[in-house]
Amino acid sequence: MNVIHLAQDPTLQDFGKDPWWLVLIKIVFAFVFAVLATLLGVWFERRVVARMAQRPGLNQIGPFGLLQTLADGLKMAFKEDILPKAADKVVYFFAPTISTICAVTALSVVPFGPMVSIFGHRTPLQVTDVSVAVLVLLACSSMGVYGIVLGGWASGSTYPLLGGLRSSAQMISYEVAMGLSIVAVFMTAGTMSTSGIVSAQADGTRLSFFGLFDLPAPGWYAILLLPSFIIFFISTVGETNRAPFDLPEAESELVAGFMTEYSSLKFALFMLSEYVAMVTMSAVTTTLFLGGWRAPWPITIWEGANSGWWPMLWFFGKVLLLVFVFVWLRGTLPRLRYDQFMRLGWKVLLPINLVWILLLAGIRTLQKQDVATGTRAWIISGAVLVVLILTLAWPTKKQPPRRSLQERMDRRPAGSFPVPPMDLQVPPSPRIKRTIAEREPANVGAGQPEHVDTGIGAGQPANVGAGHDEREV
């Protein structure tokens, strides 16, 4: 392969000129990257979580356990493929493929590097780019949830249906915050093209963003748009159903959620789509906020750091770092309750993002007008002060004072014992009813009413305290 080092950033005019075989090579490369990243991602997650838990981890199958994921894939392929009787066969079959295809499609507009030469043809290291590439990313992330919802509905079971409904609620709740975070990006970059956003984050181009100071720092939007970066990454964790937001699976209450009735290769496709989505969203976060394929400082001191094929190395390094953060969250944080999850999305992330977008729009307006630096500083400081005052003065719901244990004991009636609430009472045990019937055949036969347990603490027969051992009942 003939490689020519070029330092030119690709533009929209550079796309659509490649021969068909070069386009095919790019498509195959993006697909292979997604599959290999998934295989290595499963291995990487197990190794990292094992190290966090001080366990040996994968070390038996292949060097460092590298072949363990391949062995698991072969095991899933040879497992029995079960089809529930109540399942919708067509939707049940195609649902896993929808999630996988949507996750892989998002990589088509992600730039892996600058302009290079492949077999004599100048081409960008990107499958394609359009003027609304950011909307393509949003569409792919939104469509991926259809596979989960349809899979849960088509299984014909309660737990998968509840898992699918949870996933749709997650998408609705966190897609709004994610979209507002991206609004901040293309407001600052002035374009929705992914290659244009990477070019806008070139070193030194956005350092004087507030018009108040000029510092030698990289122009990544993760620094300049820090609130948007944090909210966007939290939203991506919720979109990919990763811990602590893995509520659609929820083994403790939903068995496995939308995947409960799936097995064999269909189950493997759902698992593949989760890891592909994790890698894809890491690549999208890198593109929008971490400078894309551009080298971080101090590597930028080298003149050839952002030319040729070297930028692919920096891009993969940033993606690996974000995947590590995904794994880190799963290994350290417990799963949230559903009400906590919804409160975080609607009452925390969304209001903060709206206020930040308004503040950012005001700053951009001040930049375009002829305003003195001192006046601009006073306006920005006043806006920040107003936001802080509103945040501190916002009324919160007061919790009732919690009584001490002695106060709660004094409020109980004399001689009473703490009992479970009514909603915890369960039907009587069939074994206890059968034992009572065997112990009291004379009373039941003489017309006496049979003592039947009607709840917790209310099912003891009348003659337990009259010579019978309570443990026998």
**What does the pLDDT average to over 249-277?**
81
DSSP annotation of 404: P
In a domain, 105, yes or no: yes
pLDDT of residue 464: 43
Q: Would you place residue 469 in the very low, low, confident or very high pLDDT band (cuts 50, 70, 90)?
A: very low
CB 335 within 8 A of CB 250: yes
In a domain, 2, yes or no: no
pLDDT of residue 313: 92
Q: Which domain holds residue 258?
A: 12-297+305-369
As for how many domains the chain has, the answer is: 1
The residues that bridge with 75 in the sheet, in sequence order, are none
In a domain, 444, yes or no: no
Q: Which amino acid is at 247?
A: L
Question: Smallest Cα–Cα separation from 91: which of 168, 150, 158?
Answer: 150
**What does the pLDDT average to over 128-154?**
87
Q: What tens digit of pLDDT does each residue of 107-131 get?
A: 999 999 898 888 888 889 999 998 8
In a domain, 5, yes or no: no
**Greater confidence, 408 or 453?**
408
Q: Distance between CA atoms of 333 and 324, rounded to whole angstroms? A: 14
pLDDT of residue 229: 94
Q: What tens digit of pLDDT does each residue of 201-228 get?
A: 885 544 444 454 444 445 789 988 889 9
Cα 127 to Cα 25, 285, 286, 311: the distances in Å are: 9, 18, 17, 16
Cα 57 to Cα 46, 54, 63, 328: the distances in Å are: 7, 9, 12, 15
Percent of the chain at pLDDT above 90?
A: 15
Cβ neighbours around 392 below 10 Å, total: 7
Cβ neighbours around 458 below 10 Å, total: 11
pLDDT of residue 404: 64
In a domain, 327, yes or no: yes
In a domain, 335, yes or no: yes
CB 334 within 8 A of CB 244: yes
Q: What tens digit of pLDDT does each residue of 377-414 get?
A: 777 777 777 777 877 777 666 666 666 656 665 666 65
Sign of the CA dihedral with 242 first, then 245, 247, and 248 last: negative
pLDDT of residue 412: 61
In a domain, 49, yes or no: yes
DSSP annotation of 120: T
**What does the pLDDT average to over 335-360?**
87
Query: What mean pLDDT is reported for the chain?
Result: 79
pLDDT of residue 386: 78
In a domain, 1, yes or no: no
pLDDT of residue 289: 93
